[in-house]
Amino acid sequence: MSIPDCDVLVVGAGPTGLTLALQLLSRGVRTRIVDQDPGSPKMSRAIGLQPRTLETLDMMGIADRLVEIGHRTLRTSVYVGGRRRLGIDMTAADSAYRFILHLPQNRTEEVLRTRLAELGGEVERGVELVDLVQHGDEVTAALRDVRGHESRTSASYLVGCDGAHSRVRQLLAVPFEGAPYPFEWLLADAELDGVASDDEVHVYWGSAAQPLALIPIDGRLWRVSAPVRADRDGAAPTLEEIQELVDTRGPGGIVVRSPETLTCFRCQIRSTGTYRVDRVLLAGDAAHIHAPTGAQGMNLGINDAANLGWKLADVVTARAPGALLDSYGAERRPAAQQVMAMTDGMVRFILDPSPVRRALRRAIMPALRTPLMQRRLADRMAQLAIAYPDSPLSRPGRVRGVPRPGARMPNIRLHDGRTLHEALRAGLPVLAGPADGLPASVLVRPDGYVAAVGPQAEGLTQQTRSARVGT
């Protein structure tokens, strides 16, 4: 049996691939990460890190670095006919991070790359995956560098984190089911004069059927986002056009200036039916894409990587059988479907111009303002509501006063003074119990979800001593 060149080849160094490489390297897995992009400056796409993603990054020890340089956004206010009718208040979220952290995606990626370097890793830039073949216990990949030189490399596993147009997905012939939306979005990252507060997202529905969103990026720059009918074929807007949209759809008196980005994009809602074909897996935008409404996509990808990282590490080091990897798709596909349904619902709620839908919108807004609904909305936006109760890894059992198996475990303080997230930075499960102020034992997986509660949790830990979940 030949030894592959590396344990895991990560294709794509966007937020998903970088997070996965960090997860693997921090557990001592021999990892290569390649990206076809030679390092050219990119337009920043995502700007929102949700509370659950910040928790995930805290378990990796890097949330503080991001929070230090990001901009806290506390709520989204929706104005109809000039009056504030609805707010989604992130301060109601059940997390220490009661805000969405706004930071341009390229700066988030910079922080992830810095951590990668600290762990001895590096993105191989200008290296494109052009082919892959699975045989026996390994995957052989054909890579092409910027000079057109092709080489072959082998890995025990390959993960396609290569975005919406994923070559890996195409080579696997995995369908990407879905459709484009009948809208294009115009975006401008620019300075704005005349907006009331920069700690919230402002969404305006004026007399125009289509809304306008003003999203603070960093205290200086704003993202102006406005859907329009899909009839411009991707033509970028001018500053004058953006100003006109802000004048007609906004509250009046707002001046747009010094744009850094003016762009138009068409978005789609698509996903794969599977996340794994033998030794090749898909994560992030390669497996699911949807509208940017609600700032969810990058967050889903980062959390896909956190779910897959510890499982892949256990499998390649032979501490768990390959079947553990099936739980990745079993858990993350429903999570993506849930988020996609939410963003699709938001698109329809916001953009459907029919008079019936508009009347319905007005009718249900008061119900959305109750404290219970506020908390639910915040937790769903924050991706804190994602749970894996039906996962094969969630052991049956329920104990009053502790989260159910499959649920997210809150970041409690442990008896030794560390927080749960700090303890999870070692990359292993944690058994918490009465000494930590809990009414029963709880076995927490390395990604911060509950695996088992009560005697089940203790039994599992004793069985494995080093507490490998899922073996």
Ligand X SMILES: Cc1cc2nc3c(=O)[nH]c(=O)nc-3n(C[C@H](O)[C@H](O)[C@H](O)COP(=O)(O)OP(=O)(O)OC[C@H]3O[C@@H](n4cnc5c(N)ncnc54)[C@H](O)[C@@H]3O)c2cc1C
Residue from the set 4, 7, 15, 90 that interacts with ligand X by CB under 6 A: 15
Contacts 24+ apart (CB under 8 A), 417-424: 420/444, 420/448, 421/55, 421/58, 421/59, 421/448, 424/59, 424/448
Q: What is the DSSP secondary-structure string of 363-427?
A: HHHHHHTSHHHHHHHHHHHTT-S---TTSTTS-S---TTSPPTTSBPP-PBPTTS-BHHHHHTTS
Residue from the set 116, 192, 201, 295 that interacts with ligand X by CB under 6 A: 295
- Helices 51-59, 297-316: inter-axial angle, 10-degree rounding: 30
Taking the C-alpha atoms of residue 389 and residue 453, their distance in angstroms, rounded to an integer, is 13
Taking the C-alpha atoms of residue 45 and residue 369, their distance in angstroms, rounded to an integer, is 30
- Least Å distance, CB 430 to ligand X, is 28
Tell whether residue 27 is a contact of ligand X (CB under 6 A).
no
Tell whether residue 17 is a contact of ligand X (CB under 6 A).
yes
Measured from the CB atom, the residue of 19 and 441 that comes closer to ligand X is 19
Query: Which residues does 240 contact at the CB level (< 8 Å), separation at least 6?
Result: none
Tell whether residue 35 is a contact of ligand X (CB under 6 A).
yes
Q: Give the x-and-dash track for 301-320 against ligand X (CB under 6 A).
A: x-------------------
Measured from the CB atom, the residue of 13 and 29 that comes closer to ligand X is 13
Measured from the CB atom, the residue of 164 and 239 that comes closer to ligand X is 164
Residue 288: exposure state from Cβ atoms within 10 A (0-12, 13-18, ≥19): buried
Measured from the CB atom, the residue of 141 and 438 that comes closer to ligand X is 141
Contact segment (CB under 6 A) with ligand X among 81-89, 149-157, 298-306, 423-431 equals 298-306
- Least Å distance, CB 227 to ligand X, is 12
Q: Give the x-and-dash track for 353-382 against ligand X (CB under 6 A).
A: ------------------------------
The pairing of strands 288-289 and 100-102 is unpaired
Residue from the set 110, 128, 145, 458 that interacts with ligand X by CB under 6 A: 128
Measured from the CB atom, the residue of 309 and 454 that comes closer to ligand X is 309
Residue from the set 20, 29, 48, 224 that interacts with ligand X by CB under 6 A: 48
Give the footprint of ligand X on residues 390-449 (CB under 6 A).
none
Residue from the set 299, 303, 411, 441 that interacts with ligand X by CB under 6 A: 299
How far CA 146 is from CA of 9, 46, 143, 170, in Å, comes to 19, 27, 10, 21
CB atoms within 10 A of CB 427: 16
Tell whether residue 218 is a contact of ligand X (CB under 6 A).
no
Query: Which residues does 68 contact at the CB level (< 8 Å), separation at least 6?
Result: none
Measured from the CB atom, the residue of 70 and 403 that comes closer to ligand X is 70
Q: Give the x-and-dash track for 139-168 against ligand X (CB under 6 A).
A: ----------------------xxx---x-
Residue from the set 33, 46, 192, 438 that interacts with ligand X by CB under 6 A: 46
DSSP 8-state symbol, 324: G
Residue from the set 105, 271, 307, 461 that interacts with ligand X by CB under 6 A: 105
Residue 329, amino acid: G
CB 408 within 8 A of CB 52: yes
3-class state of residue 192 by DSSP = strand
Q: If we measure between CA atoms, which residue out of 336, 308, 322 comes closest to residue 445?
A: 308
Q: If we measure between CA atoms, which residue out of 368, 390, 279 comes closest to residue 8?
A: 279
Residue from the set 70, 227, 250, 297 that interacts with ligand X by CB under 6 A: 297
Q: Give the x-and-dash track for 238-277 against ligand X (CB under 6 A).
A: ---------------------------x------------
Instruction: Please tell me the count of residues contacting ligand X according to CB under 6 A.
Output: 33
Contact segment (CB under 6 A) with ligand X among 33-41, 60-68, 317-325, 420-428 equals 33-41
Q: Which residues pair with 212 in a beta bridge?
A: 204
Contact segment (CB under 6 A) with ligand X among 297-305, 364-372, 417-425, 436-444 equals 297-305
CB 89 within 8 A of CB 62: no
> In terms of DSSP H, where are the helices of 236-370?
239-249, 297-316, 326-351, 355-368
Residues that bind ligand X (CB under 6 A): 11-17, 34-37, 45-48, 105, 128-129, 161-163, 167, 187, 265, 284-285, 292, 295-299, 301
